[in-house]
Structure 1
Amino acid sequence: FNLDCSDVFLIMNIGFMLQNFLFTSKDDKSTLKAIDFGLSDYVKPDERLNDIVGSAYYVAPEVLHRSYGTEADMWSIGVIAYILLCGSRPFWARTESGIFRAVLKADPSFDEAPWPSLSVDAKDFVKRLLNKDYRKRLTAAQALSHPWLVNHHDDMRIPLDMIIHKLVKAYICSSSLRKSALRALAKTLTVAQLAYLRDQFTLLGPNKSGLISMQNFKTAVLRSSTDASKDSRVLDYVSMVSSIQYRKLDFEEFCAAAISVHQLEGMETWEQHARHAYELFKKEGNRPIMIEELASELGLSPSVPVHVVLQDWIRHSDGKLSFLGFVRLLHGVSSRAFQKA
């Protein structure tokens, strides 16, 4: 499971399947290697591809929708893990079109043997890779940090996760109200989730005061770069100069900034996280707020009918943010999103 360089330099494989993993010899301690990188290429962070490629059994739903990124490779890894654990494919049909329909519509079974006898961590690992919403899927770095793998490998090397760059950048540009909501959510994270964030924070090389900035991403990527990664466009991505690059974050605020709300939503414990965070937010950050002020906080344009789209965000009893408004605030919103709705 050696996807570390793929996540730092964003190499897309689009060819992960069981038959493309071979042992170098028949020895019991033989090295397992991946082969056939014919479809592999460097991609920009957030770049979406549209060619339908890959094997039907391993193809991700978003590939069939002709809009996909590196998350599609993680789906394929989930399919491989499913097959290795139970011996059958998660999606099956007699025809290729039938397989595609199953990938888009069906849910893999975790009820039949041997799944009931497998560990909770093993099932969680596979389920979080086979999430049809690519935004809720584990990244390579998160998969390598998952308890199911970490508990069996003491020397697991965790790579820098480029999703952190995107999340931290969005956090710094967010309103003070959203930052308060994310700080409350960060206080509900589990030990395992905090361990992953601690690893990422350490990889960024905080200064003697325990602080990092956006500049640390450039330094960390340069430190990890090799001759083979010269074609990578990640270096350009993290080198963009902006007014936010020197904003300093300690570990506590980094945790709030680096949370992927979409991924937390994909977990079975999401409701508990959200409810607990809302209770903390009510004590520390919630206050009466007018709809017009909320619209200004969210940066909505005058063309958005704020009294219509934000009416459920505020409680009528005391004028404070409702639970629904809190959850939507965690995601971040834009005028464009409201206009689409």
Structure 2
Amino acid sequence: MNVVTAAIKIAVRLCEGGELLDRILSRGGRYTEADAKLIIVQILSVVAFCHLQGVVHRDLKPENFLFMSKSEDADMKLIDFGLSDFIRPEERLNDIVGSAYYVAPEVLHRSYSVEADIWSIGVILYILLCGSRPFWARTESGIFRAVLRADPNFDDIPWPLVSTEAKDFVRRLLNKDYRKKNECCSSSHKFNHNGILACVMIAHPWLSSESHPIPLDILIYKLVKSYLHASPFKRAALKALMRNARDATKESRVPDILNTMAPLSYRKMDFQEFCAAAISIYQLEALETWDQIGSTAFDYFEQEGNRAVSVEELARDLNLCPTEHPILRDWIRSDNGKLSFVGYTRFLHGVTIRSSNTRH
């Protein structure tokens, strides 16, 4: 074997259990809800891992999931990353790729991100539960028209016998408006996981009875680590934002996520501290209600955490050098030396000097 051949040779694990498609066909096309849950949790978990690494698969289908063995409870592996791509936060892809029956409407509209994979998972789950495709036509163009215009059929057998939670989950996976996929749960079980869709979907009530780990968003890890190293003043500023948290947050699986953060366990964190640490200011600022959130948080910060602060202290928290101190003076009120509202929001943001000169 020459050096070039050796360099490109890779080792892959043998999957002896065959494709998910083969198992679907062997069952006559229908899985029980309990069995479908086991499949979909594995799919969501591996896809969540990919998305958190910035990878979108773009060709999720039963043929691309292989079982490790012929056992009924065998683990699955995702294969065929030939169409996958790296994607940055807020980036949108525009090339039409994937298999027709599983392609998302966002892909056909040439503007999509990780939600394209979520749609494909919805198609797979629909097939698992009823044995037929949600969108069908004799030609590829006909399939694309159905994906864009038609709604899945939930009236025929076996759908009347399928649980309300399962149907709700499928509908959310197959929501044509990708912005609403993040609203994964019923009003009493909402769980916002920083827009990481696969992680959010795992927390849906239909899957809540299952024992499975919550994939940990690396962003959460970094935010919490930063919080633990922040000054008491910075932590007080972040905690003020928690006044806007919904009661439903307390019903989420935050304790499960905390248990996955053992490397940071040298400093114990309670529920409120974790939620404060995991807040992403950039994402909050994107909300239409940001002005109200910021104002309410500042009012609470005024009562509970705001105090006289020096420019030097702010500079240390923000890692700014002395030449940049003049910018920070505008953040502090002259009458009492405390942060102003503008100073509070910029302090939370960790704004750069360049953006300080252009934003108000």
TM-score w.r.t. length of structure 1: 0.53
- The whole-number CA distance in structure 2 between the counterparts of 1:253 and 1:261 is 15
1:55 equivalent in alignment to 2:92: no
Q: 1:269 to 1:124 in 2, by over 3 A?
A: farther
Q: 1:278 to 1:15 in 2, by over 3 A?
A: same
- The whole-number CA distance in structure 2 between the counterparts of 1:139 and 1:339 is 35
Q: 1:152 to 1:165 in 2, by over 3 A?
A: closer
In the alignment, what sits opposite 1:318? 336
Letter in 2 for 1:38: G
What number of residue pairs does the alignment pair up? 254
Shift of 1:264: 3.2
- The whole-number CA distance in structure 2 between the counterparts of 1:53 and 1:124 is 18
1:38 aligned residue (71, 79, 82): 82
Q: 1:14 to 1:253 in 2, by over 3 A?
A: closer
Matches within 5 A, 1:207-226: 213-214=263-264
In the alignment, what sits opposite 2:302? 282
1:182 aligned residue (216, 225, 238): 238
In the alignment, what sits opposite 1:273? 293
In the alignment, what sits opposite 2:44? 3
1:14 equivalent in alignment to 2:56: yes
In the alignment, what sits opposite 1:74? 114
In the alignment, what sits opposite 1:307? 326
Rg (Cα) greater in structure? 2
Confirm or deny: 8 A CA contact 1:175 1:298 kept in the other structure. Answer: no
Shift of 1:138: 2.8
Shift of 1:52: 8.5
Confirm or deny: 8 A CA contact 1:185 1:256 kept in the other structure. Answer: yes
Letter in 2 for 1:4: S
Shift of 1:279: 1.7
2:179 aligned residue (107, 110, 127): 127
User: What SS does the aligned partner of 1:171 have?
Assistant: helix
Query: Structure 1, residues 126-147: CA drift from partner, whole Å, max 9, x if none?
Result: 31669xxxx96335323433xx
- The whole-number CA distance in structure 1 between the counterparts of 2:354 and 2:62 is 44
- The whole-number CA distance in structure 2 between the counterparts of 1:308 and 1:316 is 14
Q: 1:124 to 1:47 in 2, by over 3 A?
A: closer
Query: Structure 1, residues 152-191: CA drift from partner, whole Å, max 9, x if none?
Result: 7643745231322111112123233221111222343223
Q: 1:295 to 1:262 in 2, by over 3 A?
A: same
Shift of 1:281: 0.9
Q: 1:6 to 1:307 in 2, by over 3 A?
A: same
Letter in 2 for 1:76: A
Identity, % of aligned pairs? 32
Q: 1:272 to 1:38 in 2, by over 3 A?
A: same
Q: 1:260 to 1:151 in 2, by over 3 A?
A: farther
Query: Structure 1, residues 3-41: CA drift from partner, whole Å, max 9, x if none?
Result: 3234447555533368x46799xxxxxxxx977432458
Q: 1:164 to 1:277 in 2, by over 3 A?
A: same
Query: Structure 1, residues 85-128: CA drift from partner, whole Å, max 9, x if none?
Result: xx99xxxxxxxxxxxxxxxxxxxxxxxx99xxxx9x95899316
1:142 equivalent in alignment to 2:142: no
- The whole-number CA distance in structure 2 between the counterparts of 1:153 and 1:16 is 27
Matches within 5 A, 1:95-110: none
Query: Structure 1, residues 242-273: CA drift from partner, whole Å, max 9, x if none?
Result: xxxx3443333222222222333344544443
Runs of 5+ unmatched residues, structure 1: 25-32, 65-71, 89-112, 205-211, 217-245
Runs of 5+ unmatched residues, structure 2: 1-39, 66-76, 99-104, 126-133, 136-150, 153-167, 183-192
TM-score w.r.t. length of structure 2: 0.51
Q: 1:129 to 1:47 in 2, by over 3 A?
A: closer
Letter in 1 for 2:214: P
Q: 1:247 to 1:53 in 2, by over 3 A?
A: farther
Confirm or deny: 8 A CA contact 2:327 2:353 kept in the other structure. Answer: no
In the alignment, what sits opposite 1:166? 222
Q: 1:168 to 1:213 in 2, by over 3 A?
A: same
- The whole-number CA distance in structure 1 between the counterparts of 2:310 and 2:352 is 18
- The whole-number CA distance in structure 2 between the counterparts of 1:35 and 1:274 is 44
Shift of 1:200: 1.0
1:259 equivalent in alignment to 2:279: yes
In the alignment, what sits opposite 1:199? 256
Shift of 1:283: 0.9
